[in-house]
Chains A and B, each alone.
Chain A
Amino acid sequence: MIEKREALAKMFSAKGSKINTNRGAEYYDSLMQTMNKRLAELEQTPAAGKVSITNVLEAEGLDRRDFMKWASAACAALMLPSNFTPLIAKAAELMNRVPVIWIELQDCAGNSEAILRSDAPTIDELILETISLEFNETLMAAAGHAAEEHLEEAMHTFKGKYLCVVEGAIPLAMDGLYGTIGAKAETFKDHLLRVAKDSAAVVAVGTCATFGGVPAASPNPTGAVGVQDIVKGKPIINIPACPANPANITGTILHYVLTGQIPELDHLNRPKFAFGYRIHDNCERRAHFDAGEFVEEWGDKGAQNNFCLYKMGCKGPMTFNNCSIVRYNSGTNWPIGAGHGCIGCSEPQFWDKYAQERPMADTHFKAPTGGVEKTVDEFGLGLLTAAGIGIGIHAIASVIAGKKEGDE
């Protein structure tokens, strides 16, 4: 039994991903040159909007030191060495050179709520606000014209240069009429295709825009799909989660500003810097998992001692995201901190696979099987029932072993 336990422990304590965080001096030197060149070019281009982050920060009463602290954290989040920090700061200042057109489709506004106004006006959010301001300004400045013309104009002026950010799913059933927009009642699908057509890249924000999310949950009454099912022939970046963490959205746009390219993505088009690890890999309760200490029932002794939530349905071992590091609401808390398991909200079809309060081993989903120790690329479409059962076995095995040790 002990041998089996060790084998399983080894299996599950292995890093979930094979992201290379140190690629050697040559790589970083060359990357820095590319970035310097890119930023120098950007600096020569006219700003898409009048508002600069420097002024915004000043008006909000934040000083340069706060800004540099943020830049340093953003640098780490993008998995770059710390000598890139000044470049990050410069890129943030040049963000108004990259026009962004932000559209909202079949959604609950949770991402907007998370990002644009409600919670903490951290520097991440201010930067996003600055970006969306440009968009508003671009579209709304010329009063007296029909709004359609404003959009056309912006798309024409910044043809091939703007990022198209999308929130919400796209309903395809009933010829797309479950969602219409504008005085001409254009369907969400047509609207998306029109705006995405001349963009440099499309950024899908939140799980509805990336994988269909809530509206696409079974039986998917409106035939909802994600952006990548509709838009073809464009680079697509998916930033899932419900809601998406503002830090990951800023990170992605920063990367684009820095390099003129989209960040390195996994097979689900998610940036690896944010979705390269499983929740489980960096979970604050991980030690309890390894020690075989589990919450068995809500509010029990285990819960009072912050034990592992796997048996209460935590999907941290199947979910790739950085919540365990970044947390929410200015780092105040996160779901596992508040005693509830992860529901896998950054994974495709999580409403039908993960969002329940029982462990995977107890569910009856049919899902593609695969090896347990998988990288983010190989981990695959959703869940591994095998992994669920495997962890279940470990949970039982380690509890027995733990008890034994305790008895001695």
Chain B
Amino acid sequence: MKIQIDNLRFTYPTGLEALRGISLTIEAGEQVAIVGQNGAGKTTLVRHFNGLLQPTVGSVLIGDWDTKKYPVAKLASRVGYVFQNPDEQLFSKDVGTEIRFGPRNLGYSKEKIDGLVKRALALTELSDKTETNPYDLSPTWRKMVALASVIAMDTPIVIFDEPTTGQDAPSITRIAHVIAELRREGKTVITITHDIDFCAENFERVIALSEGQVLLDGAAIDVFGQDEILAQTYVEPPQLTRLGKRLGLKETVRNQEEFLNALKR
């Protein structure tokens, strides 16, 4: 499902102009990372995708739906949104019930819900924890519950807000696996992140925001090559990109495979 943003501007009631004219198209099945310094407008932008915020000027189209004309509860059938802090989302007495909540709101049949919940549990490695109270789990696993509860809604578009913050290495690997699986299913994945190495390893397209405007937008490899422009929004290229550049490699590299191949040439 395509996302079309046309000349989007947004001003908070306090008078702060958080988005200053953003136009973007995200095609169905794209994997997009949004990067940029604190306060660049990343969260404000993605909150327009499911109608939590409404444009002050301009428009946001999710498929053929204008977000101004549909309530958030309805847009939830097209856009899943995993909030940064799982504690702002979880309320059920056990993990199984928590994950059923979203798909049930969307009015799916019982059989469909069972199937979706089972798949979400398996993807997030929570299958052995369905009976557990989310608040008895560690913060890392609570994050997984929050992920599963949105994935189970089976929306064509999924948004993650800072999924790796405070997560350890095994948990980050699990999140990367979830994203890869969503990509395989043809879903659009949009992630806000400060973790540029994670971004380099899991996303094809990178959008860098700065002060409410698009600073750079393109294939990850092209965006990471522009380290001077990235620095304007306090982003450093990934570790291996910086290494490649210092070594004077001809092409920009993102990950281990690309780096080693370039080195051999």
A binds B: no
Please report B residues at the A interface, Cβ cutoff 8 Å.
none
Please report A residues at the B interface, Cβ cutoff 8 Å.
none
